[in-house]
Amino acid sequence: MATEIRLEGALFNRVINDYDISKIQSATNRSDVESLWGKIIDWFCGTRKEEAKKALFDIIHNDDNKGNYYIHEIKVSYRGIEQSN
């Protein structure tokens, strides 16, 4: 089952999917997870996906070494919400 984090904006919805999460987990610094094109899309669509990706990077790569635990909890929580709908 694929995991997604949905971002609902004023005009469009955007998703952080498994591929994005894998990229964030393997990134070595915060600027590796964002893109100029993503910022442009966020601006036009009224979403904040690029900011959310940077926040996930901060959660995963924090100093307490619990990043993979946090991302696992996010996936489990989202699956629970998805199944209840």
Full-model pTM = 0.64
Phi-psi category of residue 47: left, alpha or beta, with phi > 0 → left and psi -120 to 50 → alpha: beta
> Would you state the pLDDT for residue 27?
92
Domain ranges of the chain: 4-84
Q: Is the pLDDT of residue 3 over 80?
A: no
What is the residue-wise DSSP string for 5-49? EEEE-SS-EEEEEHHHHHHHHH-SSGGGG--HHHHHHHHHHT--H
> Would you state the pLDDT for residue 82?
47
**pLDDT tens per residue across span 10-37:** 666 678 888 888 898 899 998 899 889 8
**pLDDT tens per residue across span 39-71:** 898 888 777 888 888 888 888 887 766 666 666
